Amino acid sequence: MTIAEAPAPPPEAVDDEPIVEVAAATPEFERAAAKAESRRGFLIALPAYGYLVLFFAIPLVIVAIYSFGTRNRFGDTELSGWNLDAYRKLTEPLLRDILFRSLWLAILTTVICLVVAYPFAYFLATRTPTIRNIMLVFVMIPFWSNFLVRNFAWRVILGTDGPLSTATSAVGLGDTRILFTPTAVVLGLVYGFLPFMILPLYAAIERIDLGLVEASRDLYASGWQTFRRVLLPLSMPGVIAGSILVFIPSLGAYVTPEILGGAKSTLLGSYIVTQFLTARNWPVGASLSFTLTVIMLFATILYFRKGGRTL
Amino acid sequence: MSDSTARPRGKTKWLLSANAVAVYLFFYAPIILLFVFSFSDNRNVGTWGGFTLGWYRDFADNEPIQDAIWVSLRVAFITTVVSVVLGTMAALALERFKFRGQRVFDALLYLPIIIPDVTMAVMMLLFFSQGLDIVNGLFGTQAGKGLTTITLSHIAFCISFVSVVVRARLNGMDDRLEEAALDLYATRWKTFRHVTLPLIAPGVAGGALLALTLSLDDVVVTQFAAGPGSTTLPVYVFGLIRRGVTPLINAVSVVMLAASILLVLLSVLLQRRGDNAPAAPAVPAGEQPSVNTINQ
Amino acid sequence: MRTTRRRAIQLAAIPLSLALVASACGSDDDSSSSGGDTSGTDVSGTSGGDSGGDMDTAECAVDEVDGDLALFNWAEYIDPDQLQEFADEYGISATMDVYDSNEAMLPQIQAGNSGYDVIVPSDYMVSIMTAGEFIQPLNQDAIPNLANLATEFQGLPYDPDNTYSVPYQAGTTGLAVDTEVVGTDFPRSWSIVFDPEFADQFGGQISLLNDPRETLGAALKYLGYSLNTTSQEELDQARDLVSSASGNLAAFNTDSADELLTSGETAIAHGFSGDMFTQILETDEGTDRYVYFVPEEGGTRWIDNMAIPFDAPHPCTAHTFINWLMDGEQGAALANWNYYTTPNEAAKPFLDEDLLAFLEDPTVITSGEESLELIVDTGDFEINYSDAFIEAKG
């Protein structure tokens, strides 16, 4: 909305008497105004804040407390006698392998998602509004089917006698069996998390004044240069948001690796689930979750600082 | 816009379009498979057994699944509405204001995204079980876990996702437009409704879509927050995999997808109608800031 | 003022969370402090609790119902129509929710206020729940059909007098083989997955259960040990065996092992009798092509049981349901639907022919019943099993 289209000031203001007392911009006034702003901000944040404190922070505290407990004979957690055993267990070499494997997978997934989603989001952002919205919704629609069912569908597609294999044999590439390999896991994860990358990217790119891109092109910059120097920096908030929304959940993913990867190597997510469920070892499940959460929180904060945003 | 050099053309356009097509194919490949095998007369998905409509008939007769779908939809709807409102408010508060405790709030807002699914599930289980004990003790009620607890859990993590998307939109967005509106005697609420909201609309819509999807698809947290008679569709399907997922689930998915697509088309049609009506002049929705902003 | 407001919220969070934790710790003892004790049962036992405790059995008459039935069961373990029959007969409504593992069910019951009247834990889970007092002792006067329990299902080690549970369905864990790929001339032994000489021929076509106790148990049996061993040395050997076998695996899979077999993805599948059997019967070639057996070194035998959570809202309905299922015809209807072994003597005359043929086939359990073992919870040693399994996977 341009300034020219803004509503005109109320006619009475043209009269001799101003409607609003123009207060002198004294320091006290500035401070009071700043305080009022601050309070308003706090109030607006309050509902979400309160909700999260009640329904998230408190449960989290409970789990943190469990991480100091001990697993007794029967798999229950004894809360008396707090100790750090559960945390000590995290330093075992087994955990190190699991961690690196999961990190690698998550990074790979995020990078692939970014590379695929960015051009897609840009393309989307340069369509007309109606088409844009339709296309966006059609991105989400497949994900309103059931998550498990989608994974099972991929299992069929990637299987030994599946459509993919049949297709590649027909073309003469021999039959491929991607199922139960790490490739299948990456494919499944990328599939599951691509929308999480597309949405924030789209939101950020769409906001960019494409006149800037025009200007850059008019000044003889190549497409790549325009991307690197103009688009990317301006859409950075979207890149960061998308990366976080993809990286972190893929770090803890366990259903897709199990269904498409055959559970042949253990990832962080499966390990945590195993501790809570199969091994009924809540202290370790809690300690690992808690540690992971804290580390990721710090990493997120650092990532934001680097991206130039405040956190 | 159509002759702007910002729109891709030539080789770039071709590459981008190809990428877009590939992405859509990628997204819909399993869906197509789902669709095809929903008509297969064989209990195994993946083995074609001849054409049949039997699974759709089964679906029509299958009450537990229908109940589960209904539960899922109710939960998802409330979750989306509440988390979009709260999430957008949170995003605004963080991006447009400065107040004490903002950093803590910011960190708190990221926690639901960071925390592993199963940990959140266990957290909610403990919290609700003990919380319900307290509530029942205080008020003499017999409340158990159920739809309410599921919805409360879903909202807890959806708020965060919505706010992340909306913030990506808000961040760095020129707030001079809002300032201008305020300078021109618009109240805060008017400014929000007529200036800010239209500008962040894509972000809000994206957040809403995300929240809806997350809620409809959640398994682990729901499993632990649920009570008797409140099974959602994903939890039900999860329970089925032990005995084999039959094309019945395919049929269910296809029906749900068809319903969603219909809804979308309907809303597009309605929007078209709305567009054709005489528009109120001063408040265009969702348009990008014009080129004038460069000059400032 | 704004400071106070924000502070107030933050400060309020602390005592609130402490209060919740305090109620979790409970007033007296240390064991089972995950919330079960705030729901009104007398948890007086010492930690390490022997069975019995101080819970009273519910006062129920035969066929008495005190409300609707909320059943918490494995998926597809009972015909919804049969459940509805029960509901109609007693003029109540019956709902069923599902879980996919004992360990997913336990925390929900443990935490209290689950709302369920009847649950279906497996053998070892019954001992765990008994020790933690998460299930209540049964009033056997309200379950006269208990007399129908087959002799081979009486005196079970985890609940010898049926104080807490009544068997529901049972089965074995073994191997299913696609003879079209493997041929008919293979040893009926675990060696077909653990011996590289044989297994290497079918690299990428074998699946093992994604279950520490079952898979390590199979390795232990192959090595000649008990699958309930608490010897770290024996466990390490089993772990190494599974680790070297994993090179030939397509996957570790519990839920779809049977489907992977019949869809051709695998040729040798480790799995449960009923699952395998139902799946095999659905193929065209059936038992002509697929063979299920329990290897000669022995394997697992398991029994799922009906039990009543300690805080079940309608215990009398629960008792009546258990009694009703123990009726001959109902027991047969159940078995004929899910194709597992029935513990109900009175049901045997009503079983389907296919099922009977399978159950009575002597070649299925290669070395006879004595080679089978029930899985027993090993207490503190359980973690070693789950760790060993993760290490084996690499």
Q: Report pLDDT digits (tens) over A30-80.
A: 888 888 888 888 888 888 889 998 888 888 888 888 888 887 766 667 777
- Contact C328/C349 with Cβ under 8 angstroms? yes
Q: What is the mean pLDDT of residues A284-305?
A: 82
Encoded tokens for A14: 């043209």
Residue B87 pLDDT > 60:
yes
Same domain, C261 and C317: no
Sign of the alpha-carbon torsion through A197, A201, A203, A204: positive
Torsion (CA) A139, A145, A148, A150 in degrees, nearest 10: -50
Using a CB–CB cutoff of 8 Å, tell me whether C37 touches chain B: no
Of C3, C35, C72, the CB nearest to B126: C35
Q: Which of A162, A247, A250, A265 is nearest to A200 (CA)?
A: A247
* pLDDT tens digit sequence for A250-289: 888 888 888 898 888 888 888 888 888 777 788 888 888 8
Q: Which of B122, B11, C266, B94 is nearest to A222 (CA)?
A: B11
**pLDDT, position A9:** 53
How far A42 CA sits from the closest chain B CA (Å)?
6
Chain B: list its partners (3+ Cβ pairs within 8 Å). Answer: A, C
How far C212 CA sits from the closest chain A CA (Å)?
8
Annotate chain A with three-state secondary structure. Answer: CCHHHCCCCCHHHHCCCCCCCCCCCCHHHHHHHHHHHHHHHHHHHHHHHHHHHHHHHHHHHHHHHHCCCEECCCCCEECCCCCCHHHHHCCCHHHHHHHHHHHHHHHHHHHHHHHHHHHHHHHHHCCCHHHHHHHHHHHHHHHHCCHHHHHHHHHHHCCCCCHHHHHHHHHCCCCCCCCCCHHHHHHHHHHHHHHHHHHHHHHHHHHCCHHHHHHHHHCCCCHHHHHHHHHHHHHHHHHHHHHHHHHHHHHCCCHHHHHHHCCCCCCHHHHHHHHHCCCCCHHHHHHHHHHHHHHHHHHHHHHHHHCCCCC
Using a CB–CB cutoff of 8 Å, tell me whether A138 touches chain B: yes
Contact A48 B109 (CB under 8 A): yes
- The label of the residue with tokens 């994993």 reads C246
**Is A227 within a domain?**
yes
Q: In tens digits, what is the pLDDT along chain C, a chain of 394 residues?
A: 334 444 444 444 444 444 444 444 433 333 333 333 333 332 332 333 333 456 778 888 888 888 899 999 987 788 888 999 999 999 999 988 888 788 888 888 888 878 899 999 999 999 999 988 999 999 999 999 999 999 989 989 899 999 999 999 999 999 999 999 998 889 999 999 999 999 999 888 999 998 889 999 999 999 999 999 999 999 999 999 999 998 889 899 887 888 889 888 899 999 988 888 888 888 888 888 999 999 999 899 999 999 999 989 999 999 999 999 999 999 999 998 888 889 999 998 999 888 888 777 777 777 777 888 888 888 888 888 988 998 898 7
Burial class (CB in 10 A: 0-12, 13-18, 19+), B233: buried
CATH code of the domain covering residue A292:
1.10.3720.10
**pLDDT, position C37:** 33
**pLDDT, position A13:** 45
A20 band by pLDDT with thresholds 50, 70 and 90: low
| CA distances from residue A122 to A127, B16, B22 in whole angstroms, order as listed | 9, 8, 15
Same domain, B197 and B243: no
**Is A45 within a domain?**
no
How far B140 CA sits from the closest chain C CA (Å)?
13
Give residue A191's identity as a one-letter amino acid code.
Y
Domain residues for the domain of A256 are: 90-306
- Contact B67/B232 with Cβ under 8 angstroms? no
CATH code of the domain covering residue B152:
1.10.3720.10
Q: How many domains does chain A have?
A: 1
Same domain, C156 and C216: no
Q: How many domains does chain C have?
A: 2
Q: Residues A222-256, buried b or exposed e (16+ Cβ, 10 A)?
A: ebeebbeebbeebbbbbbbbbbbbbbbbbbbbbbb
Contact A51 B159 (CB under 8 A): yes
Sign of the alpha-carbon torsion through C385, A278, C278, A164: negative
Torsion (CA) C353, C209, C159, C384 in degrees, nearest 10: 170
Contact B242 C282 (CB under 8 A): no
Domain residues for the domain of C224 are: 171-301+363-393
**Is B81 within a domain?**
yes
For residue B269, what is the nearest residue in chain A, using CA coordinates?
A130
DSSP, collapsed to helix, strand or coil, labels residue B213 as helix
Same domain, C267 and C383: yes
Annotate chain C with three-state secondary structure. Answer: CHHHHHHHHHHHHHHHHHHHHHHHHCCCCCCCCCCHHHHCCCCCCCCCCCCCCCCCCCCCCCCCCCCCEEEEEECCCCCHHHHHHHHHHHCCCEEEEEECCHHHHHHHHHCCCCCCCEECCEHHHHHHHHHCCCECCCCHHHCHHHHHECHHHCCCCCCCCCCCCEEEEEEEEEEEEEHHHHCCCCCCCCHHHHCHHHHHHHCCCEEECCCHHHHHHHHHHHCCCCCCCCCHHHHHHHHHHHHHHHHHEEEECCCCHHHHHHCCCCCEEEEEHHHHHHHHHHCCCHHHCEEEEECCCCEEEEEEEEECECCCCCHHHHHHHHHHHCCHHHHHHHHHHHCCECCEHHHHHHCCHHHHHHHHCCCCECCCHHHEEECCCCHHHHHHHHHHHHHHHC
How far C379 CA sits from the closest chain A CA (Å)?
4
DSSP, collapsed to helix, strand or coil, labels residue B40 as strand
Contact C390 A94 (CB under 8 A): yes
Q: What is the mean pLDDT of residues A205-224?
A: 82
CATH code of the domain covering residue C294:
3.40.190.10
Query: Which residues pair with residue C74 across a beta bridge?
Result: C99
**pLDDT, position A8:** 53
- Contact B232/B75 with Cβ under 8 angstroms? yes
Of A73, A77, A262, the CB nearest to C34: A77
Same domain, C178 and C155: no
Q: Which of B198, B230, B262 is the last residue of a domain?
A: B230
Same domain, B186 and B247: no
Same domain, B115 and B216: yes
Same domain, B210 and B237: no
DSSP, collapsed to helix, strand or coil, labels residue B155 as helix
Contact C263 A161 (CB under 8 A): yes
**Is C38 within a domain?**
no
Same domain, B115 and B176: yes
From the centroid of its chain, how far is CA A68?
29
Encoded tokens for C371: 């080679």
Q: What is the mean pLDDT of residues B37-56?
A: 82
Chain C: list its partners (3+ Cβ pairs within 8 Å). Answer: A, B
For residue B292, what is the nearest residue in chain A, using CA coordinates?
A2
**Is B29 within a domain?**
no
Chain C residues whose beta carbon lies within 8 Å of the beta carbon of residue B146: 115
Same domain, C350 and C233: no
How far C75 CA sits from the closest chain B CA (Å)?
5
Mutate: best of A58, A124, A146, A304, partner B, most B CBs <10 A: A146
Q: Which of C120, C95, C148, C76 is nearest to C331 (CA)?
A: C148
How far B220 CA sits from the closest chain C CA (Å)?
10
* Cα A193 to Cα A113: distance, rounded to the nearest angstrom: 7
Contact A199 B96 (CB under 8 A): no
Q: How many domains does chain B have?
A: 2
Same domain, B245 and B103: no
Same domain, B185 and B98: yes
Q: Which of A275, A268, A273 is nearest to A247 (CA)?
A: A268
- Contact A234/B168 with Cβ under 8 angstroms? no
Same domain, B222 and B79: yes
Interacting residues of B122 by C-beta distance below 8 A, sequence separation 6+ = A63, A276, A282, A285, A286, B224, C107
Contact A76 C110 (CB under 8 A): yes
Contact B210 A195 (CB under 8 A): yes
**Is B66 within a domain?**
no
**pLDDT, position C40:** 32
Same domain, C290 and C223: yes
Same domain, C109 and C71: yes
Chain C residues whose beta carbon lies within 8 Å of the beta carbon of residue A177: 204
Same domain, B115 and B154: yes
* Cα C196 to Cα C209: distance, rounded to the nearest angstrom: 19
Strand C166-178 to C268-272 pairing: antiparallel
CA atoms within a 13 Å half-sphere pointing along the CA-CB vector of B69: 19
Using a CB–CB cutoff of 8 Å, tell me whether B134 touches chain A: no
Q: Which of B292, B289, B101, B65 is nearest to B195 (CA)?
A: B289
* Cα C331 to Cα C146: distance, rounded to the nearest angstrom: 12
Residue B163 pLDDT > 60:
yes
**Is C145 within a domain?**
yes
Sign of the alpha-carbon torsion through C161, C164, C167, C170: negative
Backbone angles phi, psi at C304, to 5 degrees: -95, 145
Contact A280 C103 (CB under 8 A): yes
Using a CB–CB cutoff of 8 Å, tell me whether A118 touches chain B: no
**Is A16 within a domain?**
no
Same domain, B77 and B186: yes
* pTM across the whole model: 0.78
Same domain, B145 and B102: yes
Domain residues for the domain of B247 are: 232-272
Encoded tokens for A156: 């069929």
For residue A299, what is the nearest residue in chain B, using CA coordinates?
B114
**pLDDT, position C304:** 94
Of B20, B217, B294, the CB nearest to A120: B20
How far B162 CA sits from the closest chain A CA (Å)?
10
Using a CB–CB cutoff of 8 Å, tell me whether B107 touches chain A: yes
**Is C122 within a domain?**
yes
Other C-beta atoms lying within 10 Å of the C-beta of residue A7: 13
How far A40 CA sits from the closest chain B CA (Å)?
8
pLDDT over 90, % of chain B: 13
Contact C76 B242 (CB under 8 A): yes
* Cα B278 to Cα A177: distance, rounded to the nearest angstrom: 58
**Is A76 within a domain?**
no
Backbone angles phi, psi at C252, to 5 degrees: -95, 115
Same domain, B244 and B121: no
